[in-house]
Amino acid sequence: MNASGHPQLDEDFELYALGALDGEERQTFELHLRQCSECRQRLAEAQGRVSVLGRSTDIQPAPPGLKLRLMEQLESARLAEASPAFRVQPSPSGRSFTLLRWDVFLLAGALLILVIIGTTMVERLRNHNRDLESQVSTLQASLQREKEVANTARALFHVWFSSDSIKVTLVPGSQHPAPEGKAFYEPMSGGLVFYTVNLPTLPHNQTYQLWLVPNLGNPISAGIFNTDRQGNGGVLLPRLPSGVKAKAFAVTVEPAGGKTQPTGPKVLVGAVS
């Protein structure tokens, strides 16, 4: 906290929204929130940002104990490969012997048993390898999802904190800004992060649609979104052309699925300063 009692860093609001403040820091922060409407609004904005990030990815954790099972099965396969094979010692040169008829039958039976055992072991090893490959594929898929989450997080922080990004506040016309939206737009890459707080929930047959209004030309759709029960919603890194200079951003109410051009009433509008 600074001398006025407000949190010194903007990151404190994100940390609290993520549940990362503990002990005395958390108690001091919550005590201040009860007395400061300005910080409550800043916390609502931080919760909106966290809400957008939480809905941007669907993280599927790897099955419990997968890594341990993989290591155990790899060790079993290694030991199986390292086990001594049957070795046949050639008889000393010049040594002769005679087999009785029952000796021939016993030898043939032993060889048959060895063939059956060998075939069974080969089949078990094949099944073992197939199971191992399946579990490795599952682990690789999990690692790929985690990589995608990390890439999305890096893109988000670039748009939020880049010196080239513009920050636009969208409010409902001349009304008191109870519902409010924030747009972070980086024109060179076309990166856009938008979130809103206190925006009413719409019926199922309607949706909110975000528009980028360029300096020249028609509005460009930046995606559709709905809000949760707390009025939080947003659009995360939509596909926009790079290098477009924005004059304003707006949110309209459209039929479910959205429109190619705005047709419904504007509920939030913000000009680029």
pLDDT tens-digit readout, 4-15? 566 655 667 777
- Cα separation of the two ends of the chain: 31
Q: How confident is the model at residue 263 (pLDDT cuts 50, 70, 90)?
A: very high
Spatial separation of the C-alpha atoms in residues 23 and 45, rounded to whole Å: 23
Residues 87-102, mean pLDDT to the nearest whole number: 45
Inter-CA distances, 114 with 20, 87, 89, 157, 231, Å: 63, 13, 17, 64, 72
For the entire predicted model, the pTM comes to 0.51
CATH 2.60.40 residue ranges of the chain are 166-271
Domain covering 166-271 in this structure, CATH number: 2.60.40
Spatial separation of the C-alpha atoms in residues 86 and 81, rounded to whole Å: 13
pLDDT higher than threshold 80 for residue 241: yes
pLDDT of amino acid 86: 39
Alpha helices in the chain (DSSP H): 11-17, 23-35, 37-56, 66-82, 101-161
Percentage of the chain lying above the pLDDT 90 cut: 28
Residues 161-170, mean pLDDT to the nearest whole number: 74
pLDDT of amino acid 116: 62
